[in-house]
Amino acid sequence: NAGVTQTPKFQVLKTGQSMTLQCAQDMNHNSMYWYRQDPGMGLRLIYYSASEGTTDKGEVPNGYNVSRLNKREFSLRLESAAPSQTSVYFCASSVWGRAADTQYFGPGTRLTVL
């Protein structure tokens, strides 16, 4: 039982390049999330997927797209990377999105955009 896994761990992009961050969970969770974490700031929600087949915008969705590929996998795509997207990206999952449903986080992807 690996929990939440993310690939890659590190990535450097040039401005304008595109890439997809991958996330998978093996806990049979229904809800999945993408956050970004910037220095001196808390985690901010980019997009979430309440259940397989649905996705919704979070607090900072501009410049990103997501795909809930199946129940296990939730990917985040940067179509045209910008330096402002330099950050650490975390994927999380929970049973559902209820208040008492703990969100479990992956190890993160450290992205630098030059």
Residues in touch with another protein (CB under 8 A)? 4, 31, 33, 40-45, 48, 50, 56, 58, 90, 92, 96-100, 102-108
Q: How far is the CB of 75 from another protein (least distance, A)?
A: 17
The CA radius of gyration of the chain, in Å to the nearest whole number, is 13
Q: Residue 61 in contact with residue 77, Cβ under 8 Å?
A: no
Question: What residues pair up with 92 in beta bridges, in sequence order?
Answer: 33, 105
In the complex with another protein, which residue's Cβ is closer, 17 or 51? Answer: 51
Give 87's strand partners. Answer: 111
CB of 10 to another protein, least distance (A): 11
Instruction: Between 19 and 45, name the residue whose CB sits nearer to another protein.
Output: 45
| DSSP letter (8 states) at residue 89 | E
Strands 31-37 and 87-94 come out as antiparallel
Taking the complex as a whole, the smallest distance from the CB of residue 55 to another protein amounts, in Å, to 11
